[in-house]
């Protein structure tokens, strides 16, 4: 089961722009377990989510943090709680707008704030302790049923995050803490002006001087939660698209070198085997392929990209997949498969959509709707034809977005890259993944030997 990043989201609710590289999202704390533990009442469940957690904290008055969590989180939880409490006390503005003594982490100012806001700090620690208690239970439940968890490690951090506030010298920031260089990608399939993410770029030389200590801690934390981790924007470990902070788009960015092989060697020396998946989509250079191959990370194959004019298109066709690959119908940055197939000519795709549709129908063995009326039925089944194609491939892993299992259209799309609003809002309704869908997926798994038939 692969999921998006599970950190506390910031502006725009993007999980790729979290307020911490280590903390968990308070929205994922189980309210049912709080009720079962006697910390919430049925009446409390009618409150807004934040108030529910406050009520649970009040119900846990005097309780100490789980000793295991306190030990595991010692390196980050106090600073994260302090960041969250200061942010709340100043109207949730970003940290560069706090009073300079707090913005610049003057010890006396921080000590005074801790003394004056001890309750708020304890609340933030409580929420994180509950998140990680719930997560351990979730992972044990999954493992007991033979389900592994795949996480996601964003390559960049939100500027307004505890980590950037704590480690200003390791990011391209000015004296007031504002970014001077921000991350993104050049113009591509998704956007004619590229994507200006706005996250501050790392000072890789400074990080290398510490032996990549912060990164090693980050990987250690991620691998404590997940059985494997997807490396978002793997290309960025070889080079990054650096955009001057004053530029409104990504057009005037320039490439800057990334940390390369010495980075993964340092992480591997510290942590041992690295069960990582390289999200190697985009402008893949020989350096990217060499780095991925050297460390044995499987790359990603995306079926929706196989039928257009992309020079890499043939490599996304299932009959060309290598064994060491993770195959997808689409990802959170793509339209759903039904939405993609149905888009015959919007401003974003033009006539290319119709060409891709014909190519997909031909490859998948479905009749072109210009040839047979029944093809309209085939179109409604395009998601299952695409699912079958990646399941039938030799790629070691095949992953299907929930929206594609359900055959949902563009209304269920998770993210439109390069757009600031209206994203990350899709939610899976309880009971949506029915036994009938499970049976159909099970049948494909057995047919293509991705699971053993039941006795």
**Helix/strand/coil for 360:** helix
**Beta strand residue intervals within 217-374, DSSP E:** 228-231, 239-244, 254-257, 276-278, 299-302, 325-328
Could you give the 3-state DSSP secondary structure of residue 217?
Answer: helix
Please state, in angstroms and rounded to a whole number, the distance separating the CA atoms of residues 192 and 417. 11
CA 32 to chain centroid, in Å, comes to 25
Distance CA 53, CA 123 (A): 9
Per-residue exposure over 162-177, b if at least 16 CB sit within 10 Å of its own CB, e if not: bbbbbbbebbbbeeeb
The one catalytic residue among 152, 280, 333, 335: 333
By three-state DSSP, how is residue 130 classified? helix
Of residues 382, 357, 352, 383, the one with CA closest to residue 370: 357
Instruction: List the catalytic residue out of 232, 289, 324, 381.
Output: 232
DSSP alpha helices (H): ranges in 145-233? 162-166, 204-209, 213-225
Which two structure tokens, joined as six digits, stand for 421? 């609003």
104 catalytic residue (yes or no): no
Report the C-alpha gap between 208 and 202 in whole angstroms. Answer: 11
Exposure string of 96-124, with b = 16+ CB inside 10 Å and e = fewer, is: bebeeebbbeeeebbeebbeebeebbbbb
CA–CA separation, 102 and 100 (whole Å): 5
Q: Give 199's DSSP letter.
A: E
- What does the alpha-carbon distance between residue 172 and residue 296 come to, in Å, rounded to a whole number? 31
d(Cα 110, Cα 253) in Å, to the nearest integer? 37
Please tell me the distance from the alpha carbon of residue 418 to that of residue 76, in angstroms, as a whole number. Answer: 31
Q: Which residue has the tokens 């993210």?
A: 415
Active-site annotation holds for 232: yes
**Quick one: how far is CA 101 from the chain centroid?**
33
Q: Any catalytic annotation for residue 134? A: no
Residues recognised as catalytic:
232, 279, 333
């Amino acid at each position: 089961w692969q999921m998006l990043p599970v950190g506390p989201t910031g502006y725009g609710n993007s999980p790729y722009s979290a307020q911490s590289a280590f903390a968990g999202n308070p929205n994922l704390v189980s309210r049912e377990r709080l009720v079962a533990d006697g910390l919430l009442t049925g009446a409390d469940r009618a409150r807004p989510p934040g108030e529910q957690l406050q009520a649970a904290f009040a119900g846990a008055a005097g309780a100490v943090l789980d000793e295991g969590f306190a030990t595991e989180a010692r390196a980050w939880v106090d600073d994260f709680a302090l960041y969250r409490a200061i942010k709340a006390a100043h109207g949730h503005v970003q940290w560069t707008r706090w009073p300079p003594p707090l913005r610049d982490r003057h010890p006396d100012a921080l000590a005074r704030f801790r003394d004056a806001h001890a309750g708020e700090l304890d609340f933030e620690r409580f929420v994180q302790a509950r998140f990680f208690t719930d997560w351990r239970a979730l992972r044990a439940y999954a493992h007991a049923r033979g389900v592994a968890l795949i996480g996601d490690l964003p390559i960049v951090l939100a500027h307004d995050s505890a980590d950037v506030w704590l480690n200003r010298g390791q990011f391209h920031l000015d004296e007031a803490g504002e970014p001077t260089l921000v991350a993104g990608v050049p113009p591509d399939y998704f956007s004619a002006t590229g994507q200006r993410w706005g996250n501050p770029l790392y000072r890789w030389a400074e990080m290398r001087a510490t032996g990549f200590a912060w990164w090693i801690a980050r990987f250690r934390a991620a691998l404590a939660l997940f059985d494997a981790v997807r490396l978002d924007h793997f290309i960025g470990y070889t080079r990054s698209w650096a955009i001057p902070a004053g530029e409104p788009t990504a057009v005037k960015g320039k490439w800057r070198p990334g940390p390369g092989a010495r980075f993964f060697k340092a992480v591997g020396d510290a942590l041992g085997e690295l069960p990582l998946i390289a999200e190697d989509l985009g402008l893949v250079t020989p350096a990217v392929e060499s780095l991925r191959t050297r460390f044995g990370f499987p790359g990603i194959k995306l079926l929706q990209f196989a039928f257009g004019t992309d020079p890499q298109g043939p490599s996304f066709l299932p009959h060309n997949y290598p064994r060491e690959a993770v195959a997808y119908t689409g990802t959170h940055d793509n339209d759903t498969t039904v939405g993609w197939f149905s888009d015959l000519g919007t401003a974003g795709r033009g006539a290319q959509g119709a060409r891709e549709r014909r190519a997909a129908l031909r490859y998948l063995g479905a009749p072109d709707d210009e040839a047979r009326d029944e093809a309209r039925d085939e179109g409604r089944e395009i998601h299952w034809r695409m699912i079958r194609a990646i399941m039938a491939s030799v790629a070691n892993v095949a992953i299907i977005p929930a929206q594609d299992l359900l055959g949902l259209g563009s209304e269920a799309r998770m993210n439109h890259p390069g757009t600031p609003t209206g994203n990350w809002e899709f939610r899976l309704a309880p009971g949506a993944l029915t036994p009938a869908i499970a049976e159909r997926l099970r049948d494909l798994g057995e047919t293509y030997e991705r699971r053993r038939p039941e006795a």
